[in-house]
Structure 1
Amino acid sequence: MRLEKITPENYQAALALSVRPDQEDLVAPVVKSLAEAYVFPEHAWPRLIYDGDRLVGFLMAFLDIPWGRSHDDLRSGLWRLNIAADAQRSGYGRFAVEAVCAEIGAHGGTRAYVTWEPGPGGPEKFYLKLGFRPTGEQSGGETVGVLDL
Structure 2
Amino acid sequence: MDEQLTIGELARRTGVATSALRYWEELGLLPEPARVSGQRRYPPSAVGLVGVVLMLRDVGLTLREVKTFVASRSPAGDGWRELYHRKLAELDQRIARAQVARTAIAHGLACPHEDILECSNFASGVAAVLEGRSLEEAHEEIHSR
Coarse TM-score class (shorter-chain normalised): under 0.3
The two structures have a TM-score, normalised by structure 1, of 0.22
From the two aligned structures, give the one with the greater helix fraction. 2
From the two aligned structures, give the one with the greater strand fraction. 1
The two structures have a TM-score, normalised by structure 2, of 0.23
